[in-house]
Structure 1
Amino acid sequence: MTNTALYEIHDQRFGALIAGSAALEELYSSCRWAEGPVWFNDSNSLLWSDIPNQRMLRWVPDGGVSVFRSLSNFTNGNTRDRQGRLVSCEHGTRRVTRTEVDGTITVLADHYLGRRLNSPNDVVVHSSGSVWFTDPTYGILTDYEGYKSDPEQPSRNVYRLDPVSGDISAVVTDFLQPNGLVFSPDESLLYIADSGASHTDGAPRHIRVFDVVDGKTLRNGRVFAHIDNGIPDGMRVDTDGNLWSSAADGIHCFGVDGVLLGKIKIPQTVSNLTFGGPRRNRLFITATQSLYAIYVTTSGAQHP
């Protein structure tokens, strides 16, 4: 029997994606604003950010939680590149960085056209090695999640970092606040959240989708789905291309046609999520103060 307090089923397809008897587990509950979960299968661990506390945390099954990095520069979103290295968005330094195997940090991007970035928020890596990231102003609005400052960029863009030249190009420039982003399993599409409604009444609270051209540019942008409670933030896709998005009341799952299939209800506002575990069939969810996990019957797409 499906737990109706935990799940909302809006489309019969959702029933094939969830385990009705699965329990929602709270793994940790002492964050100020949890974000940016990323799974490391090679070390059987999860990393995530606690932005206002200026730290990144690590969770290990049967091993609990430890501090991975303190004074994290208000790191927000995280992912891994195709060599398994950690790639992070730092609000405090307004940059995107890569943590090398020896622990040193390489700056990938901190300026565009001679001006400082706003506050890189979320990041994904294409199979070509190119790094794509969003750059809203959340990290410079106040001193809570970064350092209050005026933006230097005239718009809030989505960028692509070329893996060979290191050049940065703005691939989308018409978002109010670009936030989470994720490629479809075959990388033919890029989904990008616009969470402008977080600070502006009547502003977007939707997810747009773009066709990816030659792994370098985007075209044919259109609205894919709307969030009916809160705003979209971090997102992931499963192997069938269904999109799982954060929202105020939990995780919203959309089919490839943009139809809301169902929700997993979470007690706190969800910021982000990732598929993890050895079979990538466990959803790890960052939600305000806590890290949650729940098993599903699908699995996450192989790219981070």
Structure 2
Amino acid sequence: MHRRPLLAAALAATAAPLAARAQEGFPNRAVTLVVSFPPGGQGDVVARPVAAGLERLWKQPVPVVNRPGASGEIGNASVARAAPDGYTLLMALSSLAVIPEAARLLGRPPAYEIDQLAPIALFTADPTYLAVPAEAPWRSLEEFIADAKRRPGAIPYSSSGNYGALHLPMAMLTTAAGLDLLHVPFQGGGPALTALLSGQVQALASGPGPITPHLKSGAVRVLASWGARRAPGFEQVPTLIERGFPEAEYYIWAGVFAPAGTPAPLREALRQAMAGVAADPELRRALEAGGNALDHRDGAAFERFFRDDTARLVKAVRRIGRIE
């Protein structure tokens, strides 16, 4: 009866130095960074400069692998099930916690649960913006809402898929404002943006990175943001909160996760590597060139951010309800 605890303690004492030694040569081969969406979206825009920074630091390849499908569920689940050895990581978006809750709303088992993934480091956390084509008739949020109410179901908008990082903010707005818009889902933010630029749709909720080049070229304009306050560089853009929609707050963040079974020493090695990349001026320049601001958090700070954001978004999903 007393031998089992003693045996467990002995095994733990043996495993700790083994795990520590396993990290000494890490990485000694390529580390895959999975993005659960096609190229061109927010996750991809952040993942590529982060991967480049890790390659400079580790002197090993860090390929970005796009695994789109099911609003990000396929790619997220692939990393949740991956070997916890540090060689498969996920650049996740804010939809990470939404997707399992949405699966339950739809009456099916989730492909993964968030406790199967361990937060390592946050890199960006930007408000989402309501973008429309430059030739669209709306010059303000109020004009957009008024037209949508006059023509229920007539204004199409694109997204990265049901309950995805670009769909949930629009669902928050339509629920709060009582609007009926035509939802046109795609497999990711890149195709959703292409649909806006090509005239297939007339609105898109997007992080600042993908739309910034098109704002500069004059191809799109933004009518409002889902932030708590106006952001630098977007001072002229009102927030939905200040326009009377206090529950329409949403941030499209991007952060690195590892499989939850990754040993603590290896997670710490990953955290330190991400901190090194965050301190690299090249990363800041690359993010800013793409319209994103570096917002590096790790350890307890990222865990607290993720926990709080998860609680807020799960509440929003339940309020919106089932969407087929």
Structure with the bigger percentage of helix: 2
TM-score (norm 2): 0.28
Which structure has the bigger radius of gyration?
2
Structure with the bigger percentage of strand: 1
